[in-house]
Structure 1
Amino acid sequence: MNEITRVLKTFYGYLKRPDLYPELGRKILKNTVNRNNAFKGKEKTHSWAQSKAISQQEAVSRLLGINIAPFRNEFHDVLEKSEQREKECPITMGGPGALELIYYACEYTQAKNVVETGVAYGWSSLASLLSLEKRDGTLYSSDMPYLGQNGDQYVGYIVPENLKTHWKLFRFADKESLPKIFEENQNFDVIHYDSDKSYNGRVWAYNELYKHLRSGGVFISDDIGDNSAYQDFCEKNQIETTVVEFEGKYVGVFIKK
């Protein structure tokens, strides 16, 4: 599918969904008036993240006091089946992230309520759900429909059916999904951000999510090197964050005091 076809298909998808008109307006602004602001501070933050970065294994050990080695053995079968599901999926979405970090953040906090933004295949969702099912907990997820790929039906495709009883999926942009999620639950043990990559989108979401993270809860954000939103947020709130280098990208994580 060429770029023009994808854009037209996405635009038509928005037109058929009046509930997504607010996000359509924001996307138009983001890609025109605010386009240059999306990558604000990228060079500054790349250097900052690079100077602080450690491995996922070291981060989980230092921050949570947990060895991540057992994860792949304990969940070998479910991970193998999910990998097969991804291969069978007819559309392409984002691959696995720092699964051990997400899973052990949930274990460390004995999480019962987790919120994530961004689902795609559902790898991060799977990591949270594998922990949450032990305590009959709930994962609240915000994810935009994949309008340009006819991909709605494949969101969360690799998540096993038996885990979906612990999952509530909100199919809107964050600015519509998060208020709906917060109406259902006010306090969360773990937050995982992996949606709108723009500077303004991140700043808005970080502030909203942080207010609903309990003391002692874990905050995780993917792709923090895209711009300086995460660094600026941490500095503004005097947060000492750990930076994880994972597959050439940077993930931020901290425990709320």
Structure 2
Amino acid sequence: MAYTIANPKIGRQILQAKYQSWQDSKHSASNYAEKKSQLDDIIKALFPESSYSIADFRKDAARLQVHASDFFNKLKNESYPSKKKPYPLEYTLDNNSGLFLYALCKIVKPKIVVETGVAYGLSSMYILQALFENKKGTLYSIDSVFSPWQSEEMIGSAIPSHLCENWRLVFGSSSEKLKDTLYSLGSLDVFFHDSLHTYKNMKFEFETAWPFVNKGGFLISDDISGNNAFSDFYSKLSLEPFILPQNEKSFLGILKKP
């Protein structure tokens, strides 16, 4: 309470997030189970002419997964919430989704990637590894501090230092920073939502980012199963998404721009 009083702007954001989550809880969400596809099938469908295989990507990303495992093992005995462990470990991106982001960026070779929500930076790490190997591209990540145990220093703390050359952290919430960031960039190849998973925020991010996504580019959303923002968005565009299953009945939503 004292923290929100001393930081009224953050206090308002926390209250708004709680209210939006409460509103979402009153509505049933889409069931993506019937639409889901496995990672190998999604890559083959998106890139039928690619010579890459998921086995290749798994092998190439093995060191990255070891690094992530070592990082999170060090946090297991730390208490949450705390300065050393500001985010719960169960909120981190699952390996399958990380592998998809890595494979996508390896094949597409994007010049500009924008993501919202970083936390420890697991998704950022997979994207940045691909950009590093491509020897091109920049990842712009938007995130902020919303609790007294969080700090700017811990945002992206899992990212290996040698990958940070291609990384730009935009400090602030997506509601404040996304529009300006997109206008300053002009266009992008991949947009990844992984910030506040409420209908209002996801709808805002999808509708704001989509006009800036280049033809043939991608809009991707983590954790689409909590509300209908993703299904309403792709239905309005008359597009069919790819749905990748994640841990605990969660799903990653993938849209390719025609």
TM-score by length of 2: 0.84
Unmatched 5+ residue regions in structure 2?
76-83
Q: Is the 8 A contact 1:9 1:147 kept in 2?
A: no
Match of 1:14 in 2: 7
Deviates more, 1:72-81 or 1:132-141: 72-81
SS in structure 2 at match of 1:238: coil
SS in structure 2 at match of 1:230: helix
Asked if residue 206 in structure 1 is aligned to residue 206 in structure 2, the reply is yes
Q: Is the 8 A contact 2:225 2:250 kept in 1?
A: yes
1:30 to 1:121, Cα distance in 2 relative to 1, 3 A: closer
AA paired with 2:114? V
Equivalenced residue count is 240
Deviates more, 1:212-221 or 1:149-158: 149-158
1:186 to 1:9, Cα distance in 2 relative to 1, 3 A: farther
Match of 1:106 in 2: 105
Q: What is the CA-CA distance between 1:197 and the residue it aligns to? A: 0.8
Q: Is the 8 A contact 2:220 2:252 kept in 1?
A: yes
Match of 1:74 in 2: 60
What is the distance in 2 between the residues matched to 1:208 and 1:81? 34
SS in structure 2 at match of 1:214: strand
Q: What is the CA-CA distance between 1:173 and the residue it aligns to? A: 0.8
1:73 to 1:12, Cα distance in 2 relative to 1, 3 A: farther
AA paired with 1:177? K
Q: Is the 8 A contact 1:188 1:212 kept in 2?
A: yes
Q: What is the CA-CA distance between 1:31 and the residue it aligns to? A: 2.9
Q: Is the 8 A contact 2:224 2:252 kept in 1?
A: yes
Q: Is the 8 A contact 2:109 2:137 kept in 1?
A: no
Q: Is the 8 A contact 1:42 1:225 kept in 2?
A: no
Match of 2:184 in 1: 184
Match of 1:246 in 2: 246
Q: What is the CA-CA distance between 1:96 and the residue it aligns to? A: 3.0
SS in structure 1 at match of 2:215: strand
What is the distance in 2 between the residues matched to 1:72 and 1:9? 46
Q: What is the CA-CA distance between 1:12 and the residue it aligns to? A: 5.1
SS in structure 2 at match of 1:189: strand
Asked if residue 28 in structure 1 is aligned to residue 11 in structure 2, the reply is no
Unmatched 5+ residue regions in structure 1?
1-7, 16-20
Q: What is the CA-CA distance between 1:10 and the residue it aligns to? A: 5.2
1:10 to 1:226, Cα distance in 2 relative to 1, 3 A: farther
Q: What is the CA-CA distance between 1:195 and the residue it aligns to? A: 0.7
Deviates more, 1:65-74 or 1:208-217: 65-74
Match of 2:33 in 1: 50
Q: What is the CA-CA distance between 1:108 and the residue it aligns to? A: 2.6
SS in structure 2 at match of 1:253: strand
Match of 1:221 in 2: 221
SS in structure 2 at match of 1:150: coil
Q: What is the CA-CA distance between 1:146 and the residue it aligns to? A: 4.6
The percentage of aligned residue pairs carrying the same residue is: 23
Q: How does 1:93-242 map to 2 (within 5 A)?
A: 93=88, 94-97=91-94, 98-133=97-132, 134-242=134-242
1:13 to 1:244, Cα distance in 2 relative to 1, 3 A: farther
Match of 2:42 in 1: 59
AA paired with 2:209? L
1:31 to 1:62, Cα distance in 2 relative to 1, 3 A: same
What is the distance in 1 between the residues matched to 2:61 and 2:100? 14
SS in structure 1 at match of 2:186: coil
AA paired with 1:150? Q
Q: Is the 8 A contact 2:191 2:220 kept in 1?
A: yes
Residues 130-186 of structure 1, C-alpha deviation per residue, up to 9 Å, x if partnerless? Answer: 111223210000112152423432211111111111111112110112123224311
Q: Is the 8 A contact 1:125 1:159 kept in 2?
A: yes
TM-score by length of 1: 0.85
1:217 to 1:10, Cα distance in 2 relative to 1, 3 A: farther
What is the distance in 2 between the residues matched to 1:13 and 1:129? 36
